Amino acid sequence: MNKLLCMLELQQKLNDATNGIGWEKGVTKQGKKINWRRCIYMESAEMIDSFGWKHWKSIAQPTDYDNLQIEIVDVWHFVMSLLLEFSNGAETMEELSKSMFNTPEYQKVNSDAPLKFGTDELLMTKIENVMRLSLIPISAEMVGALVEEFFELAYLGALNATELYRLYVGKNILNQFRQDHGYKEGNYIKIWNGLEDNAVMKNGWETNPEMSPEELYKALETAYPA
C-alpha cells in the first residue's frame, strides 16, 4: 500500500468537503481566504506547549509525548494541503507521493520498526525550523524543504511511516466527525468525559488497531457525549 498516496487522497477529500471544490485557488466556498502557511506555524506553536518549556510556570511539567505526536499529525494535514495547493494539478498525487517517498528524510521513517523520541531540545529546534520555513514566501524550494523538515520532525517524534499513517487516518476521520457534528457552527463538544477528543480517537485505535476508518467513525459516534 502506498501510504503517502492514500494520505494525499484523504486530505484532498477532506479539503474538498470542508472548503469546497477549487479550494486550491486559496479561497473557501464561503469566500474566506485560506493560509496553510499560517496554519502550519500556529499549530507548531501549539505543539511546543507539549513541553514544559516555561521557566516561570509549571517547571516540573513532564513532556506530553502522546499530545506531541497528535500535534505533529495536525501539522501534517496542513503540510499536505500546502503541497496540494502549490501543485494545483501540475503534478498528480501519484507523482507527489513518489517525490516524497524518494527523499532521504522519508526513508528514515519508512519502517514498521519502533522509533525512539529525540531529546526535547532537538524536537523543539526541529519544530521551530518547521515554523521558520512556513514563514518564508512560498516557492518550490520552500515547499520541498518544508516537507523534508517535517519528516525529520516525525522521525524525532518517534513516528515511523506506519504510525504516521495510522494516526493521520484517525485524525482525518475525527476531523470529518467534527465537521458532521457542529464544529464550524461552534457547538461541537471537544472534551468527552474528561478526555479531549484527540485522546479518545488515539485510545480507540490502540484498543482495536484493526478497525477500519468506518468502524472508527462509528466508535466515535458511540462515545460522543451529545
Alpha-carbon span 153 to 69, nearest angstrom: 10
58 within some domain: yes
207 within some domain: no
Alpha-carbon span 178 to 52, nearest angstrom: 29
Q: Which residue has the higher pLDDT, 213 or 29?
A: 29
84 within some domain: yes
Alpha-carbon span 29 to 6, nearest angstrom: 25
65 within some domain: yes
Is the CB of residue 133 less than 8 Å from the CB of residue 146?
A: yes
Mean pLDDT in residue range 23-34: 95
- pLDDT category of residue 141 using cuts at 50, 70 and 90: very high
Instruction: Report the CATH number at residue 75.
Output: 1.10.4010.10
Distances (CA, A) of 137 to 38, 99, 146: 11, 21, 12
pLDDT in tens, 71-105: 999 999 999 999 999 999 889 999 999 999 999 99
Alpha helices in the chain, H assignment, sequence order: 3-19, 36-48, 65-87, 93-101, 104-109, 120-134, 140-156, 161-180, 197-207, 213-223
Mean pLDDT in residue range 21-48: 96
pLDDT in tens, 149-199: 999 999 999 999 999 998 898 888 998 899 899 888 888 999 998 988 988
pLDDT in tens, 49-69: 999 999 998 888 899 998 999
Averaged pLDDT of the chain: 93
178 within some domain: no
How confident is the model at residue 58, as a pLDDT? 82
Number of domains in the chain: 1
Q: List the domain range (segments joined by +) for residue 105.
A: 3-166
177 within some domain: no
Report which of 3, 34, 9 is spatially closest to residue 20, judged by C-alpha positions: 34
183 within some domain: no
- pLDDT category of residue 208 using cuts at 50, 70 and 90: confident
Cell numbers representing residue 115 in the block: 522509533
Asked if residue 1 has pLDDT above 90, the reply is no
204 within some domain: no
Mean pLDDT in residue range 114-123: 96
Mean pLDDT in residue range 208-223: 86
